[in-house]
Amino acid sequence: MKIESIDTIRLEQHPNLLFVQILTDDGATGTGETFYGAETVESHIHETVAPLLLGQDPLRIAAHSRMLEGYVGYSGSGAETRARSAIDIALWDLRARTAGLPLHDTMGGRTRESIRTYNTCAGSQYVRKNGQSTRNWGLQAGAGRYEDLQRFLTDAGSLAEELLGEGITGMKIWPFDQYAEANYGTYLSQEELLRGLKPIKEIRDAVGDAMDVMIELHSLWNAPTAQRIISGLAPYKPFWVEDPVRADVVGGLAAVSRTATATGTMVAAGETVATAAGFIPLLNAGAIDVVTVDLTWCGGITEAVKIAGLADAHGRAIAPHDCTGPLSLTAATHLSVSAPNALVQETVRAATRGWYGDLVTELPTIENGTIRPPEGFGLGTELQPDVRSRDGSIVRISR
């Protein structure tokens, strides 16, 4: 069996999203995905990756993963790593399909049937363009049923009640971002701190401690200001504070983590960290409690399995990231039911009940606050048959 074709599919409606399909000479297919800078990643795949992989045995995944690290771009989650991630997921999907196994059975098998999930309170139009900023929240464009970002900004208590009614006992919100953007995360006034705390207070007033609240800080703050936010959050007992400072500021993140530990709060980080090697300084410094690995940014499943094992060896949990695309969530869910140190799986109900289902044939099953992978071989899902031919679909093929 040899790789005959590498195809990429990019959709104008979802400009950050890139799908990759690998086809072999005997008809086997695997599908992968990545997110952010899709056109750049697409170019790298056809310019650099395809010439290296065409004609090769698709089952030699470890060899291909190492080869695609490249001479530059291997130490971060830039375009080269995102391309490598999408290719790697497609190769694992292809291998599991060829073996007649679900993906998690090629990752060591299940350690659980399903895993707890939490809802990231994004909306239907969240981050449709490049940039993690308030101007890209999609608040004005959003008109879906589950505009949870607008809800947590304006009525967090009723949102928490609604989620609990569905059996969801964890929710993630980011009420401080707009203040960081005003001064590059160097200052937060007392008034801004109180305004940022308001949604968490509303949640506690509405549902008490029944809801675990994750606070996302999007790596926008410097260490002293992040510590001040964490101290302000302490009375509301957040489940974790996520990405309080950039992950490459290891000393700063470790200092923030010590402050969080003193208040009984965990620090979660790592969605933008690439490769297992990238996590070693963070884990050795005790800078993170929960590793939020993203399979489409870290180097793919090959690296994610290593990262899960590395975290486990340091006595830390993983909580795979998803706020990007349907194959990312599906691959992450396979990892979450396989890795014994998986804590919880991120989901976005605005996506899982909306546009994710427009793009793929099956999604993980979410019910009673838990999630499990789709049935079937490989990822257990495929692109909808018409995705390649839709208006605004850009397909490139290397043969």
- Does residue 139 sit in the same domain as residue 203? yes
Asked whether residue 306 is assigned to any structural domain, the reply reads yes
Q: Looking at the structure, do residues 245 and 109 belong to the same domain, yes or no?
A: yes
- Do 243 and 134 belong to one domain? yes
Are residues 298 and 332 in contact, defined by beta-carbon separation less than 8 angstroms?
no
Q: Residue 273 pLDDT more than 70?
A: yes
**pLDDT reported for residue 74:** 86
Residue 377 is assigned to a structural domain of this protein: no
Domain containing residue 256: 105-372
Q: Are residues 88 and 156 in the same domain?
A: no
Considering the domain architecture, whether residues 389 and 364 belong to the same structural domain is answered as: no
Whether 54 is in a domain gets the answer yes
Mean pLDDT of 298-302: 98
Residues 255 and 142 in one domain: yes
The residue-averaged pLDDT of 115-131 equals 92
pLDDT at residue 128 in the model: 85
The three-state DSSP-derived secondary structure of the chain is CCEEEEEEEEECCEEEEEEEEEEECCCCEEEEEEECCHHHHHHHHHHHHHHHHCCCCCCCHHHHHHHCCCCCCCCCCCHHHHHHHHHHHHHHHHHHHHHCCEHHHHCCCCCCCCEEEEEECCCCCCCCCCCCCHHHCCCCCCCCCCCHHHHHHHHHHHHHHHHHHCCCCEEEECCCHHHHHHHCCCCCCHHHHHHHHHHHHHHHHHHHHHCEEEEECCCCCCHHHHHHHHHHHHHHCCCEEECCCCCCCHHHHHHHHHHHHHCCCEEEECCCCCHHHHHHHHHHCCCCCEECCCCCCCCCHHHHHHHHHHHHHCCCEECCCCCCCHHHHHHHHHHHHHCCCECCEEECHHHHHHHHHHHECCCCEEECCEEECCCCCECCCCECCCHHHCCCEEEEEEC
pLDDT at residue 116 above 80? Answer: yes
Do 170 and 281 lie in one domain? The reply is: yes
CATH code of residue 254: 3.20.20.120
Cβ within 8 Å of residue 140, ≥6 positions away: none
Q: Amino acid letter at 129?
A: K
Q: Which tokens hold the place of 163? A: 């989620």
User: Does any domain span residue 266?
Assistant: yes
Average of per-residue pLDDT across 155-184 = 97
Q: Is residue 85 part of a domain?
A: yes
- At 362-391, the pLDDT tens digits run 999 999 999 999 999 999 999 999 999 999
Looking at the fold, whether 58 and 140 belong to one and the same domain comes out as no
Residues 111 and 27 occupy one common structural domain: no
Residue 24, in any domain of the structure: yes
In this structure, the answer to whether residues 393 and 367 fall within a common structural domain is no
Query: What percentage of the chain reaches a pLDDT higher than 90?
Result: 93
Tally of domains within the chain = 2
**Residue 140 reports pLDDT greater than 90:** no
- What pLDDT score was predicted for residue 58? 98
Which pLDDT does position 158 carry in this prediction? 98
Report the range of poorest mean pLDDT among 16-30, 134-148, 211-225, 371-385: 134-148
The pLDDT, as a whole number, for residue 141 is 67
Q: Do 125 and 79 have their domain in common?
A: no
Other C-beta atoms within 10 Å of 394: how many?
15
Residue 176 forms part of a structural domain: yes
Q: What is the pLDDT, as a whole number, of residue 75?
A: 86
- Look at residue 264 and tell me if it is in a domain: yes
Q: How many CB atoms lie within 10 A of CB 222?
A: 18
Provide the CATH number for the domain around residue 92.
Answer: 3.30.390.10
Q: What is the mean pLDDT of the chain?
A: 97
pLDDT in tens, 11-63: 999 999 999 999 999 999 999 999 999 999 999 999 999 999 999 999 999 99
CB atoms near residue 53 (< 10 Å): 22
pLDDT tens digits, 313-368: 999 999 999 999 999 999 999 999 999 999 999 999 999 999 999 999 999 999 99
pLDDT at 132: 80
Angle CA 193–223–248, to nearest 5 = 130
Where does residue 122 fall: left (phi above 0), alpha (psi -120 to 50 degrees), or beta otherwise? beta
State the pLDDT at residue 142: 63
Q: Looking at the structure, tell me whether residues 59 and 110 fall in a common domain.
A: no
Query: CA–CA separation, 9 vs 302, rounded Å?
Result: 23
Q: Give the pLDDT mean for 110-118.
A: 98
